[in-house]
């Protein structure tokens, strides 16, 4: 009888553990760039490093790199991202063939040689990867709402033309 009670208790604990894990997992499937990144960042004390990386379908050999140091420039770019809603995916499917990937690296101003805090990589208008440096964790997402990717891309491309 005692052995049976222990087995039942173990089964109950396992079912509860899986239930808690499943609830946590499903609650965290959907998020936004605001929740995942921007709420963790002190907007007054960061700057952006933006990298435009060429994909295999372009013949241009070099990547381009620009820094956005002014608070107004940082705010303008991050405001464009704040409304993006995301859903976790298991892996990054590159989807549409695009000539460039855009990576926005958020760095603290206090030490410009320090490592990044977050990296947000746009593979195309529907796929985003977020890397959290402190947790050393990368998560892939699909954009689930209407996001004007072309307007965003054009505003970033203008920064590269200024250099």
In words, the CATH class of domain 30-162 is alpha beta
Q: Is the pLDDT of residue 162 over 90?
A: no
Rounded CA gap, 118 and 105, in Å? 6
Q: Is the pLDDT of residue 90 over 70?
A: yes
Mean pLDDT within 153-163: 79
Among 27-31, 42-46, 91-95, the range scoring the smallest mean pLDDT is 91-95
Q: 44 Cβ partners below 8 Å, 6+ apart?
A: 71
pLDDT for 64: 77
Could you give the angle at the alpha carbon of 56 between the alpha carbons of 60 and 48, nearest 5°?
Answer: 70
pLDDT mean across residues, the chain: 82
Residues in the chain: 163
Mean pLDDT within 86-109: 78
């Amino acid at each position: 009888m005692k052995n049976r009670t222990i087995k039942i208790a173990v089964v109950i604990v396992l079912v509860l553990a899986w239930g808690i894990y499943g609830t946590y997992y499903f609650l965290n499937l959907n998020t936004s760039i605001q929740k995942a990144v921007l709420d963790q960042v002190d907007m007054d004390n960061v700057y952006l490093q933006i990298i435009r990386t060429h994909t295999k379908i372009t013949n241009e050999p070099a990547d381009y790199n620009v820094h956005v140091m002014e608070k107004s420039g940082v705010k303008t770019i991050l405001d464009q991202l704040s409304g993006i809603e995301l859903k976790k995916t298991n892996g990054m499917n590159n989807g549409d063939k695009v000539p460039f990937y855009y990576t926005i690296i958020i760095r603290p101003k206090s030490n410009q040689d320090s490592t990044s805090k977050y990296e947000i990589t746009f593979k195309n208008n529907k796929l985003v990867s977020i890397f959290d440096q402190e947790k050393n964790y990368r998560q892939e997402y699909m954009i689930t709402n209407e996001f004007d990717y072309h307007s965003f891309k054009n505003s970033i491309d203008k920064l590269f033309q200024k250099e």
